Structure 1
Amino acid sequence: MTSAPRVLIGHGTENDFVVLPDPDGTVWPERRLDAALVRRLCDRRAGLGGDGVLRVVRSVHVPDAPAVLGEDLQACEWFMDHRNADGSTAEMCGNGIRLFLHVLVTEGLLDRGACEAGVLVGTRGGPRRVGATPDGAYWVDMGPARPFGKGEAHVGDRTFAGLAVSMGNPHLACLTEADLASLDLTRAPEFDPELFPDGVNVELINVLEAGRHIRLRVSERGVGETRSCGTGACAAAYAALVDDGRTEGTVVVDVPGGRLSVRVAPGTTVLAGPAVLVSAGVLCAEWLGPQR
């Protein structure tokens, strides 16, 4: 690289990311931002540390954007190129996309006031409308929650029944009365690979007030346990509403990293919560090495 590339660190309810500003797709083209580099960036001891990487890039510079966005390609100027900590690509992240919009605003690429009505952002889960709130937080239309069966998660010697829900990525939302703090999520839960051939995010959920307030822990595929998961919060809220005999309503979701709000309505799920930038800097040539 001819100059030191800029990096940002931020989080949404402590679901944290390494953010790579790359508007024109010249700093981190696909051949450079490979799985090995993503793993190095997310390494919490030898790298910057994070649950994933977000590349802030215009959709026209992302090779697979036309396939995932289709006729919405022209409407989505910006694309959230999201990678899991293990280097794999990810379809969608509710915490990440709020942070993504926050970066667009703070970098001067979008006007915050103009974002209050929402702007379309491309993701590998399809286009998503994201907006700013007057109190400094952000919301995102996550699209509909789509149930697609029932399954089980195995955590140690315990089995938890759950509802399979797609939020653009697969989830298994398991309501339980178990003490969440007592569960060992240092190893990923086991699940039915036939129901989830591409892996699954597993939510373990306590209902605090039926259909209105829940708390959860989540194990994300390709990452492990995280402090928060936006799509997981949506899947968990939907499962809590279904358990209460409803498919619409607003649910407060407490995660280890903070609090989110999820509104489930016909054809849509809206997630709201904070986004915070922690630091900004550059990657040193010593760490990047000559191959970069």
Structure 2
Amino acid sequence: MQEFRFAKMQGLGNDFIVIDAVTEPVSLTGAQVRALAHRRLGVGCDQVLLAEAPSRDDADFRYRIYNADGSEVEHCGNGVRCLAHFLRRRGLTEADTLRIETVNGLATVTMQADGMVRVDMGMPVLDPEAIPFNAREQAVTYPLLVDGAQLEISAVSMGNPHAVLVVDDLDRVPVTEIGPHIEAHGDFPNRVNAGFLQVVDRGHIRVRVYERGAGETLACGTGACAAVVAARLRGLVDSHVRVDLRGGTLVVDWQGGDEAVYMTGPAVHVFDGVMPLPPAEGESTR
């Protein structure tokens, strides 16, 4: 049975299995991802990340992201910070700044002297068709009928789709009950990450995210960015915002308009491991 090396990493408790597919190509099926992500029978993680050689000249590396349910998604803010740390630690690069290719473009990642990692997340996408989200025209907020109740959400893509709901008290919101209904809502053709946002003051918010394909996680980098964009569009926050998530704190900066969103936070190596690659669906385990 084929063995592979991996690193377990985390960003604010959002945890990842990271695999070097640059020096030795790796291909994973949905069944293999689910087996690796299982917290009792596998390594356990929210997402599996593959570091690959780039497919475009202006990128240093490419990465692919698989949720714990085996689905492949477009981008991950905590994941791209961990990926950059992984590439440096594995000796695949010595650069402080890396251009990481994603499904939808490039993320520029900078390793700072203080140990934090800063990511240029690009401009937020607000056009409903591009998110994608079924709406007649672009607006700051949209009504969304969820399980018989009409909610008011903002729809934002940070390379992946987010529905952001402003709440009064984050601790009282039944995230794990409402989240699945928003995630699978028919107005989001590719499903959606459901974000719940509480404004503390103009420079401080609290966020919880029910992630598409992973459930509620301790932190979501793109979700933090989407929440700041949504709050700023509503006039609730300024351009520099502390975002408290269940796993810790990110700092998000957005000047508005056509400016890029910047996210700064930690990336932590937990351990390295070697294990047999789980069988693809239908393969024998013998």
Q: Same fold (TM over 0.5)?
A: yes
Q: Which is worse superposed, 222-231 or 140-149?
A: 140-149
> C-alpha separation between the residues in 2 aligned to 1:186 and 1:279?
33
| 1:154-165 correspondence runs (5 A) | 159-165=150-156
1:41 aligns with 2:31: no
User: Per the alignment, do residues 154 and 221 of structure 1 end up closer, same or farther by CA in structure 2, a change over 3 Å counting?
Assistant: farther
Contact 2:107 2:120 in 1 (8 A): yes
Shift of 1:193: 4.0
> C-alpha separation between the residues in 1 aligned to 2:145 and 2:250?
26
> SS state of the match for residue 251, structure 1?
strand
Contact 2:170 2:207 in 1 (8 A): no
Q: Which residue of 2 aligns with 1:204?
A: 196
One-letter amino acid of the counterpart of residue 270, structure 1:
Y
> C-alpha separation between the residues in 1 aligned to 2:93 and 2:246?
31
Query: How many residues are paired up?
Result: 268
Shift of 1:83: 0.8
> SS state of the match for residue 66, structure 2?
strand
| 1:1-292 correspondence runs (5 A) | 1=1, 4-26=3-25, 28-29=26-27, 33-60=28-55, 73-111=56-94, 114-115=95-96, 118-148=97-127, 149=139, 150-152=141-143, 159-185=150-176, 188-191=179-182, 193-210=185-202, 212-244=203-235, 249-265=239-255, 266-284=258-276, 291=284
After superposition, give the CA deviation of every residue in 1:99-119 in whole Å (9 maximum; x if it has no partner).
Answer: 0000001111111xx31xx22
Q: Which of structure 1's runs of 4+ aligned residues deviate more than 4 A? A: 152-159, 287-292
TM-score by length of 1: 0.84
Question: What is the identity percentage for the equivalent residue pairs of Structure 1 and Structure 2?
Answer: 35
> SS state of the match for residue 83, structure 1?
strand
> C-alpha separation between the residues in 2 aligned to 1:256 and 1:87?
24
TM-score by length of 2: 0.86
- Superposed CA RMSD in Å reads 2.3
User: Per the alignment, do residues 46 and 222 of structure 1 end up closer, same or farther by CA in structure 2, a change over 3 Å counting?
Assistant: same
> C-alpha separation between the residues in 2 aligned to 1:78 and 1:48?
25
Contact 1:143 1:269 in 2 (8 A): yes
> SS state of the match for residue 229, structure 2?
helix
One-letter amino acid of the counterpart of residue 168, structure 2:
E
